[in-house]
A = this chain, B = another copy of it.
Amino acid sequence: MKAGPDIARIAALIGDPARANMLTALMSGKALTASELAAEAGVSPPTASGHLAKLEAGGLIGQRRQGRHRYFSLTGTEVAAVLESLMGLASGAGHLRTRPGPRDEALRRARVCYNHLAGEMATAMYGALLRTGRLATTGDGPRLTESGAAFFSGFGIALEPLIRARAPLCRECLDWSERRSHLAGSLGRAVLARIEAEGWASREPGSRAVRFTPRGEAAFGAWLGLG
């Protein structure tokens, strides 16, 4: 017994409904203030404050003071990955009676996962990138190929600063709605930023959903060579 790390500690941290709501809200990748998170979780400011302190002590979130606000965010992609996989279990093993509403439909299509794109569009993209040899996979996550480097440079992404930074360029992340992987890492983040800058899609305010315009969706498909 006691083999392996103390998994109950952080599972319990996620296991409270108020805290789970906060973490889910933070999955949008945006840093949120304590009051916003309190509203999101449906609790009073004091309660939220206590929860946030626990989450921080547990290492799941971090804070950044700015002016008289306190911005909270997830500490990293690893936390986001755990949350995503938990959502996969909950949506699968949970009560299926709650059939997906229109809002869930949009989330399934495309959404923000911490800082990169997730959902149907994202797994389609990841598959296309691997099929066309822009990415290759080692045991240690995906790797950018030479043709891939040219491909993304042509899309307007400056790769050098990303490579110079110590954060991993490519990562894969399991999608709870699709049950397949999609692209994460600093490259995944850059792609999402570029898609938004291009005007192909925009985030719905107050939600994780990403809405593609019809023209944006067509351009996205053409870029990747999707059917």
* Contact across chains for B12 and A12 when beta carbons are under 8 A apart: yes
A35 interface contact, C-beta 8 A:
no
Q: Which of A1-9, A45-53, A64-72, A150-158 contacts B (4 or more CB under 8 A)?
A: A1-9
A196 interface contact, C-beta 8 A:
no
A16 interface contact, C-beta 8 A:
yes
Complex CA distance for A182 and B78, rounded to whole angstroms: 17
* Contact across chains for A90 and B9 when beta carbons are under 8 A apart: yes
Chain A, 1-24, CB within 8 A of any chain B CB:
1-17, 19-21, 23-24
Task: Kindly identify which residue among B1, B10, B87 contacts A5, using a CB–CB cutoff of 8 Å.
Answer: B87
> Is the interface on chain A under 10, 10 to 19, 20 to 34, or 35 or more residues?
35 or more
Q: Which of A132-140, A159-167, A187-195 contacts B (4 or more CB under 8 A)?
A: A132-140
Nearest CB of chain B from residue A9's CB, rounded to whole Å: 6
Q: Which residues of B contact A174 (CB under 8 A)?
A: 81
Per-residue contact bits, chain A 101-142, to B (CB 8 Å; 1 contact, 0 not) = 001100100000000000000011011111100001111111
Q: Which residues of B contact A137 (CB under 8 A)?
A: 130, 136-137, 142
Number of copies: 2
* Contact across chains for B85 and A180 when beta carbons are under 8 A apart: no
A214 interface contact, C-beta 8 A:
no
Nearest CB of chain B from residue A20's CB, rounded to whole Å: 4
Q: Which residues of B contact A10 (CB under 8 A)?
A: 86, 89-90, 93-94
Complex CA distance for A139 and B120, rounded to whole angstroms: 11
Q: Which residues of B contact A103 (CB under 8 A)?
A: 3
Known: A59-B93, A85-B82, A138-B130. A11 touches B15 (CB 8 A): yes
* Contact across chains for B130 and A83 when beta carbons are under 8 A apart: no
* Contact across chains for A5 and B90 when beta carbons are under 8 A apart: yes
Chain A, 169-185, CB within 8 A of any chain B CB:
174, 176, 180-182
Known: A12-B16, A15-B15. A7 touches B90 (CB 8 A): yes
A-B contact pairs, 18 of them (CB 8 A): A1-B24, A1-B42, A4-B208, A5-B91, A6-B90, A6-B94, A7-B87, A8-B17, A8-B21, A10-B93, A11-B11, A11-B86, A14-B15, A82-B85, A85-B85, A124-B139, A128-B139, A140-B180
